[in-house]
A and B are shown apart, each in its own frame.
Chain A
Amino acid sequence: MATPVINEVPGDADAALGNDGPPNDMRKGGTGSTTGARLHGLLTRVPLWFIVLIWAIPSLGLFINSFRDRQAQNQSGWWRVVPSDLTISNYDTVLSASSTASMTDSVLNSLGIAIPATIIPIAVAAFAAYGFAWIDFKGRNWLFIATISLLAIPLQVALLPLLKLYVGGAHVTVPFTERTLTLIPDWDLQGSLTAVWLTHTGFAMPFAIFLLHNYISGLPRDIFESARIDGADHFTIFTKLVLPLSVPVLAAFAIFQFLWAWNDYLIALTMIGSNADNFPTTIRVANLSGDFGRNAFLLPSAAFIQAFIPLIVFFSLQRFFVKGLLAGSVKG
């Protein structure tokens, strides 16, 4: 049984990003100047450079194409770009409110989906993870397995009943009578942002509980025992001890879930349907490829706008992401 030390997490966060991590084995041979070491270093670097180059090409190509007008894109490959080609007219078009391809409103819609779809699962799952990890109750294991077993379930499995629920609520006709019971009223959720983030919330719950449980169950037992002896109730322990100690994993899940919800296409496609006012960014981008490709030249710029917020979120918070995702799973 591992008796983990709190925050005995993969190295420290900065090291995980390789910025100022401890110098590893290569450093030693790198400054030494034997031919063997130099050859060895080269053998490492050349494949790496090659892979890096391949990895950079798709984004680079898209970035260049986002500044080329329709004619340029249709006449030559993106690597044939000349500075005089470059224009921001594509960005103008996709951002202007009047254009049918407007990304501006859809950014707000995506936020309206991704923010509740991130906050609600965290708030709810953190509580549950603590309950599953540290409170013994009847049926705990069964309930936990029932939750975790849906870890990989895709939306399609529940899609149609869920749609019917959003369209008309849930009603049951009592057999042999004319009475109909309304279990869930018709909240008219069809095509609303609520339908989307509610669905995200339900489907995110297993992974949220899985990840948070991994971490919270690894917190040292002593602190809970002494807190209980001091008379703290579960609510106090949760808010005063568990939450502060769980910040890394909460942050990691938040980033993971925000990216997931922001980048989702399927749930928005099926839940929002044809309600164009509520289209998130992914649907807007995808719709540009329709109409026999008439607007396909706008795709690169729209895709960059779509990716802008996740890029910022990820690169400003990546230290938490890595640290927290592995928290609780790496204990030397």
Chain B
Amino acid sequence: MTTASPLITDDDADISSSADEAGRVSGGKKGGRSQFTGRDRTVFIAMVAIPSIIHIAIVWIPTFLSILLSFTKWNGIRFSSLEITGVENYDQTLLGAFKGDTYQAILNNFWLLLFLFFGPTLLGMLLAYLLDKNLKGTRIYQSLFYTPVVLSLAVVGFIWQNVMYDQQYGLATVAFGGGGTVDWLGNQEFLFSFGGYGLSKNFIAILFAMAWRHTGYIMVLYLAGMKSVDAALRESASLDGCNEWQTFRHVLFPTLKPINVIVVVITVIEALRAYDIIAVLNEPRNTELLSHLTTNALVGEGADNIGRGSAYATMLFLLCIGFVLWYVTNHYRKQENTV
């Protein structure tokens, strides 16, 4: 596991065997700021301040302003037209006229996350396992799986629209359409639904296109992890009479744990930031994610109330921050315990 241990912290100061040396190293509280040389101080401030300023100016402050704007009604042009309306935007988006869109979008975000975790992640792990066996042609197979990873999701959308989902000449149409035309991306019917919300068929079509790219990504990561497992370890496992599943379960899988961390982070980033592929396909009905509602309400055609878009942005923010805070506290607390 990674350790985020500074050279010395208040906690481990006294257990450190060479506390005075370490104190000099850290220039931290115990040793006093005086331990910094003049150049050290300048460098240190620059080191941490520059990225923090960029980050605060470009992300934190605008995010904070978005949250404030979500309690207003504003046409986005003159500040004089801004009125404070309290929770009206939330009322509209969660309980009122826009609630249908809102809940379907949040549900779609949820489907996407669930799908990416179970579809591409498991398939990617399986592929990595198969390719790890060094079969003939592994290198070519790998390249094939890597190719979609490199493509823009916008391009992935067009590829599937053009090659697979073309209403007349798409491969999926010919293979499963029974000789007729199929509007894969326009079919907004729900596969299953509850209370008017559900999983629409065109969203499933888009999920497949996304899986095409995401699986390779996951495979790259797991394959590298599996390659790092000591061959002797497997050898002894098979000598001890482990079958293939047992070897995977008890020898390979435990060593892949750290990779799961990276996979989770990348998958959540992809799921929450997803926008491009659905946007270039003109956002078929019932496939919108929260990111589309936000963008359209803020800068789309006929965007007349910045406040509503900001309310969506705030929801998106809460979804993201919720996950990451959970992750960060878990991940780094565990590390501190191991120090």
Contact = CB atoms under 8 A, between A and B. Distances in A.
A163 B299 contact: yes
A100 interface: no
A243 interface: no
Interface stretch (B89-97, B186-194, B197-205, B323-331): B323-331
Contact of A322 (B6, B39, B224, B275): B224
Given A156-B313, A332-B255, A58 B164 contact: yes
Nearest to B133: A26
A154 B50 contact: no
Interface in B10-63: 18, 21-22, 24-29, 37, 39-40, 43-44, 46-48, 50-52, 54-55, 57-63
Given A16-B227, A44-B135, 12 more contacts: A58-B163, A134-B7, A150-B324, A153-B59, A158-B58, A159-B298, A163-B299, A205-B59, A217-B2, A266-B295, A322-B223, A330-B228
Given A152-B272, A325-B221, A18 B134 contact: yes
Nearest to A73: B169
B228 A332 contact: yes
A21 B134 contact: yes
A264 B273 CA distance: 11
B309 A16 contact: no
A137 B43 contact: no
Interface in B315-336: 316-317, 320-321, 323-325, 328, 332
A162 B162 contact: no
A104 B26 CA distance: 52
Contacts of A295: none
B247 interface: yes
Given A18-B139, A55-B212, A128-B48, A235 B228 contact: no
28 contacts: A10-B225, A16-B227, A16-B228, A48-B130, A48-B135, A51-B127, A58-B164, A65-B162, A79-B171, A130-B47, A131-B44, A136-B28, A138-B29, A149-B324, A151-B320, A153-B320, A157-B317, A159-B62, A159-B66, A205-B59, A218-B2, A221-B7, A229-B24, A286-B280, A306-B155, A326-B262, A330-B225, A331-B2
Contact of B273 (A2, A21, A152): A152
A108 B145 CA distance: 28
Most chain A CB within a 10 A radius of its CB, from B54, B142, B230, B323: B54
Contact of A152 (B63, B258, B269, B298): B269
B238 interface: yes
Interface string A276-307: 00000010011001000000100110010011
Contact of A135 (B28, B55, B162, B261): B28
B71 interface: no
Given A2-B1, A161-B69, A203-B59, A16 B224 contact: yes
A199 B62 CA distance: 11
Nearest to A153: B320
A39 interface: no
B207 interface: no
Given A11-B224, A326-B224, A329-B259, A78 B146 contact: no
A125 interface: yes
Interface string A22-39: 111111000000000000
Most buried by B among A133, A157, A215, A218: A157
B298 A140 contact: no
B115 interface: no
Contacts of B59: 150, 153, 158, 202-203, 205-206
Contacts of A205: 51, 54-55, 59
Given A135-B26, A159-B313, A78 B153 contact: no
A276 to B, nearest CB: 17
A53 B273 CA distance: 29
Contacts of B29: 136, 138
Contact of B295 (A130, A159, A289): A159
A67 interface: no
Given A156-B294, A303-B155, A24 B324 contact: no
A151 B48 CA distance: 17
Nearest to A323: B224
Contacts of B65: 160-161
A265 B269 contact: no
Interface of A: 1-2, 4, 9-11, 15-19, 21-27, 44-45, 47-48, 51-52, 55-59, 61-62, 65, 73, 76-79, 124-125, 127-128, 130-138, 140, 143, 145-163, 165, 184, 198-199, 201-203, 205-207, 209-210, 213-215, 217-218, 221, 224-225, 228-229, 233-235, 238, 259, 262-266, 269-270, 282, 285-286, 289, 296, 299-300, 303, 306-307, 310-311, 313-315, 318, 321-323, 325-326, 328-332
Contacts of B48: 127-128, 131-132, 135, 137, 143
B145 A329 contact: no
Given A48-B141, A202-B55, A162 B62 contact: yes
Interface in B262-280: 262, 265, 268-269, 272-273, 275-276, 279-280
B52 A143 contact: yes
Please list the 4 inter-chain residue pairs (A to B) with the smallest Cβ-Cβ separation, ordered nearest first. Answer: A202-B58, A136-B28, A61-B163, A263-B152
Contacts of B231: 22-24
Contacts of B134: 18, 21, 23-24, 26-27
A159 B273 CA distance: 13
Contacts of B125: none
Contacts of A157: 62-63, 66, 294, 313-314, 316-317, 320
Interface in B58-103: 58-63, 65-66, 69, 76
